[in-house]
Amino acid sequence: LFCDSCDRGYHMFCLSPPLRKLPDGEWMCPHCAHLSPSEDTEVDIMDEHPPTADEVCGSAGEQAKEAGSSKNTPRETRLKHRTTVVVRRQKPLSRRRSSTTPKEIGKADEVTSKMEKKPVCVTSPEQLAMLESDLSGWAPQEELSRFLEAYSLGQAQGAEEQRASLCGGNGDDLVLFRRTPRSVSIDRNEIETRFSSPYPEEFASLDRLFLCSFCLLPRSSPFQLRRHMTKCRARHPPGCEIYRKDRTSVFEVDGAKSKDYCQRLCLLAKLFLHHKTLYHQVEPFLFYVLTVVDPSGCHLVGYFSKEKESSKSYNVSCILVLPPYMRQGFGRVLIDLSYALSRREGKIGSPERPLSDLGLISYRAYWKSVILHHLHTRTPGQRTVNVKALSQRTSISTHDLISTLQWIGRLKYWRGDHIILLHTQSPAPKSTKGYSCIDEKALHWKR
Cα distance between residue 127 and residue 125, in whole Å: 5
Cβ atoms 301, 326 nearer than 8 A: no
Cβ atoms 437, 333 nearer than 8 A: yes
Nearest in space to 394 (alpha carbons), one of 366, 417, 416, 422 = 366
CA distance from start to end of the chain: 79
Phi-psi region at 346: left, alpha or beta (left = phi > 0; alpha = psi -120 to 50): left
With residues binned 3-state (H G I as helix, E B as strand, rest as coil), the percentages for the chain, rounded to 5, are 35, 20, 45
Quick one: how far is CA 185 from the chain centroid? 24
Enumerate residues 6+ apart whose C-beta is below 8 A from 427: none
Q: Is the dihedral of CA 35, 40, 44, 47 positive or negative?
A: positive
Question: Helix, strand, or coil here: 44?
Answer: strand
The active-site residue, picked from 26, 132, 345, 352, is 352
Q: Is 352 a catalytic residue?
A: yes
Cβ atoms 210, 199 nearer than 8 A: no
Cis bond upstream, residue 17 (ω within 30)? yes
- Tell me the DSSP string of 177-191: S--SSSEEEETTEEE
Cβ atoms 229, 203 nearer than 8 A: no
Kindly list the distances between the CA atom of residue 94 and the CA atoms of 9, 41, 65, 120, 385, in Å, as whole numbers in the listed order: 16, 21, 48, 27, 90
Strands 350-351 and 314-316, by their bridges, are: parallel
Size of the chain, expressed as the number of residues it contains: 447
Enumerate residues 6+ apart whose C-beta is below 8 A from 327: none
Cβ atoms 272, 196 nearer than 8 A: no
The count of C-alpha atoms lying within 13 angstroms of the C-alpha of 63, restricted to the half-sphere facing its C-beta, is 15
Exposure letters 190-203 (e unless 16+ CB within 10 A, then b)? ebebeeebebeeeb
Cα distance between residue 212 and residue 228, in whole Å: 8
- Active-site residue list: 352
